[in-house]
Amino acid sequence: MTVIITASELAQELTGGDPPVLLDVRWQLSVAKAAGAPAFDGRAEYAAGHLPGAVFVDLDRELASAPGAHGRHPLPDLAEFGAAMRRAGVSATRPVVVYDGGQGWAAARAWWLLHWTGHPDVRVLDGGLPSWEGELSTGTPAPAEGDFRPEPRGAGLLDADAAASLARTGVLLDARAGERYRGEVEPIDRVGGHIPGAVSAPTTENVGPDGRFLPAAELRDRFKALGVSEDTEVGVYCGSGVSGAHEVLALAVAGIPAALYVGSWSEWSADPSRPVAVGADPQ
């Protein structure tokens, strides 16, 4: 399965007879607003310049439901998600390419949701908008209504109990920064640390300095060193199911299927009854 596309490949496809639907999912995690600074505005970034024909998708409103007991970015209501995708022109028989500002996390969240709900052909622009060398547009497209109807697959999604179990029967990867995994700092959630048995695997180590994914062979070696083998069941979590989606995407580039714990640490740590491990030792 091809899950990423280069800028040059995308440019070529956009000139063809069946160009992909383009989704701009610019978003970034910001703790600046806690100090009174304005939050990142993806829609304003989109308005200032985007790939021609791309439609803006709001991660917080269209790729997640409201924060609550299930974390900061719980699964969206599927009817609302489907309606948002159709408004953006997404159809079941037309390829989709998603991109963001270069970090890749938000684009991966859109990729994961579309893939998990049954879209057969969705890819992420490797390197995001910074990799694009063509012209940008400031216009707002009005695509024809799509026909995509989300139908979740049985596999690919973990809840808290399944994540805890997988940490002992397979490999549960923690995609957050190492210092958050170890519990040395926690700028967002109630408590620092990790799910007992989870392995630290910062998603930032899946890409090179240019923000593009490492070659598939290098990613396979990385995950092998973290305990992943051909017959290993693999799951991923992060803070709220966004950077974790990027790690699931990296695993897919390496040819390794993995499930995502969408609630992630923001859900896990909100329940004082759940155990918390600290330090470099998974246990």
Q: Is residue 207 classed as helix, strand or coil in its secondary structure?
A: strand
| Known active-site residue 122 | no
Question: 155 with 232: CB under 8 angstroms?
Answer: no
Catalytic annotation, pick one of 21, 23, 201, 238: 238
Segment holding 96, helix H or strand E = strand 96-99
SS3 280: coil
Under DSSP, is residue 47 helix (H, G, I), strand (E, B) or coil? helix
What is the DSSP-derived secondary structure letter of residue 92?
A: T
**Distance between CA 176 and CA 247 in Å, rounded?**
10
Indicate the pairing of strand 199-200 with strand 96-99. unpaired
The string of DSSP codes covering 158-199 is E-HHHHHHHHHHSEEEE-S-HHHHTTS--SSSSS--B-TT-E
Q: Is 112 left (phi over 0), alpha (psi -120 to 50) or beta?
A: alpha
Catalytic annotation, residues: 238
